[in-house]
Chain A
Amino acid sequence: MKVDQLSIFLENRAGRLAEVTRILAESGVNIRALSLADTSDFGILRLIVSDFDKAKENLKAGGFTVGRTTVVAVEVSDKPGGLHAILEMLREAKVNVEYMYAFVNQTGSHAVIIFRFDRTDQAIELLQKNNITIVPGEKLYKM
């Protein structure tokens, strides 16, 4: 039910992001979803990729500090209030969302949102109990 996310430390200077995409391109790794958080000095690039291990290995070889983070991909119906219903559910259970970002998806009827929770297992349990569709990693990497 969990998804492996690649987190990469980036200095906030020109060309660093391009260096990541160059390594991924040369490794034949496809990016499924991404989000970039930044401060004035540094940024953290978060990626869902087609081949986690290969991407991690090559980025490390390229000199980057890389981490593995467990996130959850959730199907959200593509209509007003779709995301809100899920966040409301999480609020009631006091599960905190550390950050979230949307997944690029061509199908249309659903959006996929990537969540980083403070308590991942509890969040998954809660979502399943409420019949929310969780997209497993294996499926997501191949989408």
Chain B
Amino acid sequence: MIFDMENETLPREDLQKLQLRRLQDLVARVYENVPFYRKKLDERGVKPEHIQSLSDVSLLPFTEKQDLRNHYPFGLFAVSRENIVRIHSSSGTTGKATVVGYTRRDIHTWAKLCARSLAAAGAHSGDFVHNAYGYGLFTGGLGVHYGAEELGATVIPVSGGGTRRQAMLLRDFGATVLTCTPSYALHLYEAAKEMGIDFKELPLRIGIHGAEPWTESMRTEIENKLGITAIDIYGLSEIMGPGVAIECAKVKKGLHIQEDHFLAEIIDPETGEPRKPGEVGELVFTTLTKEGIPLLRYRTRDLSRLNTAPCRCGRTTARMERVTGRSDDMLIIRGVNVFPSQIESILLETEGLAPHYQLIVTRSGNLDNMEVRVEVDEAAFSDQIKNLQRLESKIEKNIKEFLGVTAKCKLVEPKGIERSEGKAKRIIDMRKEQA
């Protein structure tokens, strides 16, 4: 089903006209209201009236995650604080989180786009949506929640954790749609199986999974084990949250970008130059309608490519290929973004440990596991086991607290960490080999 028939099936020419009009309005708004953008545009000698066609977007400056951090918490907001009705934030150590704000209209737009996404995945009013994305500062839970309500479905706001209880509720309430990270879907399946609950006997039809990278083989596994259709959803809090793009259940080949609200570009991550149509590069979004924190050319670091060919589902919006990788070293652990630099600052803050560390990421069963190996230098060393174990648990606790992700800390000998050409290899991600 197409939730917003008019906007999701606009002839591309009309869509581009709409995008241009909104882009012009956006540039005027940020020039007027966001000192950061006014300065950047002035430096480039660009005035809002210079935007005459969609390709003029290349005149605009990029926005990096670091720009949001530099203006922590509210420095990039384009409206006064009393017009912000909600705040969300991505994980980060103190002062490093990225904070986004939504106006009442932004919240409604988001709900509508999530409703579109759920509909594209095959959900409809009357469905029971078991929403196991985390509720809170993370956009996943509340984003899907409002979208499901907008669609007219019944939301079960389970949030994350308590897996056995979730399996029980899934059975007892008879949910028809499951929304969670792909790895959690499989985890839930295992827990249910142990409790004697067979997913295939449940009325569940659809799984809507995102917030972490997954593969086609994982989709097959979810679909076979849970007896459902598994759909990929894409979003990021800086742009809006879940619902920026969604696969259609009919074709399942690429994720439809909600292009009337987000202008997508593919650039060369090294040079920033636009890539030719159909080439893989870094995905960049400009938020065309957002009021709270509109962003020009936000660099997602996600690698993908765009396909503007018409889709059999009837939507005319461009499709982005499933994200194939990252153009930087960010890790996604159980749906949480983790930067090695964050681990580094936590170690430095934890009793002045030397930042000699390594992150080993594995997938056991269906869950991501992260091990943080830290070299023990003389300053941190003790002749007593209990002191070193205390140090390990302190690091684990700080990582959990600041990043919201569970990690195991393992102390290692100095130089115990693999170095290539004098540079320590910080990340060993073994999930790809295992997948």
Contact = CB atoms under 8 A, between A and B. Distances in A.
A3 interface: no
A39 B415 CA distance: 20
B389 A39 contact: yes
Nearest to A10: B413
A99 B412 CA distance: 23
Contacts of A16: 413
A65 B378 contact: yes
Interface in A31-67: 37-39, 41-42, 44, 46, 63-67
B384 A98 contact: yes
B388 interface: yes
A20 to B, nearest CB: 11
Contact of A41 (B382, B410, B415): B410
Interface in B372-429: 376-378, 381-385, 388-389, 410-416
B415 A5 contact: no
Given A9-B411, A63-B414, A44 B378 contact: no
Interface residues of B, number: 17
Interface residues of A, number: 22
Contacts of A99: 384
Contacts of B376: 9, 42, 65
Contacts of A46: 383
Contacts of A37: 384-385
A11 to B, nearest CB: 5
Interface string A1-25: 0000101011100001000000000
A67 B381 contact: yes
A66 B383 contact: no
A5 B276 CA distance: 67
B236 to A, nearest CB: 36
A46 to B, nearest CB: 6
A98 B411 CA distance: 21
A65 B385 contact: no
Given A65-B376, A65-B378, A11 B413 contact: yes
B384 A9 contact: no
Contact of B383 (A7, A42, A64): A7
